[in-house]
Each structure stands twice: as structure tokens, then as C-alpha cells.
Amino acid sequence: MLGFITRPPHRFLSLLCPGLRIPRLSVLCAQPRPRAMAISSSSCELPLVAVCQVTSTPDKQQNFKTCAELVREAARLGACLAFLPEAFDFIARDPAETLRLSEPLGGKLLEEYSQLARECGLWLSLGGFHERGQDWEQTQKIYNCHVLLNSKGAVVATYRKTHLCDVEIPGQGPMCESNSTMPGPSLESPVSTPAGKIGLAVCYDIRFPELSLALAQAGAEILTYPSAFGSVTGPAHWEVLLRARAIETQCYIVAAAQCGRHHEKRASYGHSMVVDPWGTVVARCSEGPGLCLARIDLNYLRQLRQHLPVFQHRRPDLYGNLGHPLS
């Protein structure tokens, strides 16, 4: 079953900025094999992105099969870029299994995704690959690596998660990502794609606005937070954090999420979504694995930034330059 949502004009924004055009966007929430889709002709020239929601397990080949099915469906529906969540490759039962299942970027699994990108002719945001880096032999730890592939299957950017999730949330169970993972050493400059300039982040990074501000000041128009939020933090913080990052950076936010029970030790919240620069949720996945689609209107983004020029009004003389622009 397909659910269509039409975003109405924002009355308050129209009052504040009478000259600002508010686009009416049709967005789609779909299960893995929808049969049909209707898109209004007025929006067909805008780039379409797909946000994939999955339930990864320790079975890497089954996970790839599920992701590939969604990516092919996204391509069929006309998306130019598909986003997969953190740990799209697998979610293991313990740190030892995580390390055993990990691969280098040049391994078999990334080659399969490169072939998939070429086959479908679209870009892929692989939101959190368990990467054995060049220092694997010395550290015996991995990186949580966000990989961006172009439509020819080439790696155009990699970002290694800089903020590791070492937390103990009552009712959700402890998580110590640093047991198996090294923090990344740097941010990645925004990358030009058919949908706009994308800034890469991963899950827990969303709690650090300095990162999103740095990416926005470096030219990002879309920020992406592939995630695997838990059952306690998800309902409490997921949507509000995504909307906050969108409003303060005046960027589109694309958040592909893990959902459901991965195994006996772990479950994820889901609720993948796209948020526009005004902070409105314009697309959202339904329960379970599936995808949602949204169009990216960069003219709308530029008009909003022109009418609300918050980055011109910052006062680093008072509070320092939070989120230093990338060099």
C-alpha cells in the first residue's frame, strides 16, 4: 500500500516572508514492492531522493539482498540518490562478531554495492560501513565509515564517524562503540551530487551541532544522518534533533534509519525521514522495512536563507566560532 502526503504552504513563513515561494511537494511512503506512483508535473524537474529503512542482522548476504531490492525500487521510481542507514551491512551480536564480519573498503561487499550503483544508475549513500582501515593490523579496531558512491560505482567520499556512542540509557541497555571502533580523525567537505551538496555524518553525530554548523558553513545543502537509534532515545529525541539540525543550518536533512529487532540483543526505532530547511518533515517511512521519497528544492532553500540570513548574524566575537568552517 502506498501513502501520499502533500505538504501545504507554511502560513507563518508566508506571513514573515511574503515573497518566498513555498513549493507543494508530493512525497511517498512505500513498502519494498510498490506497484505505482503518481508525481505532479509541477515538481518533476526537482531531484528525487530515496530514504531506505531496513532491519539489518548478522547475515551480510541477506542484508545486501534486502538493500539491493530497495535500491532497485528507488531507481525504478526515478530517484537520483538512495540513502541507506548506519550498519546497512550488518548488526552483530557482540564486538567480537562485529570485528570478524568487518571488511576493508576494497572488499567483496563494497564491490557488490559499486556494481549495484552502476546497474541502477544512481548515487548511493552507504550510511555506516564496518571498515577495516589501513591501521587494522595495529589497532584490531574498525571505523564506522559513511561511504558515498556515484552512479558509476566509484567512491567519491568517505567520512569516518567522529563521535562514538558510549552511553548507558536506562531501559535501552549499554552501548560502548569504542570497544570495537576507532573515532574518525576529520570531517569530510560537502560533496556535489545530483541532488545538491551533501554533508556526511553518522547517527550519534546528530547530538553535536558544531559538526552540522561546520558542514553548512562549508556549503552543505543536504545533511545526512544515517542511524540506528534505540527504543528509548528514538521516541524522545530522534525527530526533534533532526528538525533542530535542519532549522539551525537551513539545510535539508535526510535520515535513513534501522528499524525493528535485529537479534535477541538489539532493536532499533526506525522512523526514517526527510526534513526541509524550515524544519518540516516532508517524507517519513511507515513501520518496517521500506522506503520514502522526497524532492529536493534548492531554490526554496536559497530563498529561505535569503529571507532568514542567520549565518550573517552570527556573533563569534561573543561566543566563538562554533563549528569552524572546513579548510
Residue extents of the structural domains in the chain: 48-312
Average pLDDT over the chain reads: 87
Q: For residue 323, what pLDDT band results from cuts at 50, 70 and 90?
A: low
The third-level CATH classification (topology) of the domain covering 48-312 is Nitrilase/N-carbamoyl-D-aminoacid amidohydrolase (3.60.110)
pLDDT at res. 324? 65
Q: Which residues are catalytic?
A: 86, 161, 203
Confidence of residue 14 (pLDDT cuts 50, 70, 90): very low
Which among 211, 170, 246 is positioned nearest to 322, based on CA atoms? 211
Per-residue pLDDT, averaged over 125-137, amounts to 96
Tell me, what's the pLDDT at 134?
Answer: 94
- Which of 135-139, 167-171, 212-216, 234-238 is predicted with the least confidence, judged by mean pLDDT? 167-171
pLDDT at 30 over 70: no
Banded pLDDT at 321 (limits 50, 70, 90): confident
Mean pLDDT of 93-108: 95
pLDDT of amino acid 327: 59
Cell of 149: 558512491
pLDDT of the residue at 43: 64
> What's the pLDDT at 325?
63
Task: Indicate whether 251 pLDDT > 90.
Answer: yes
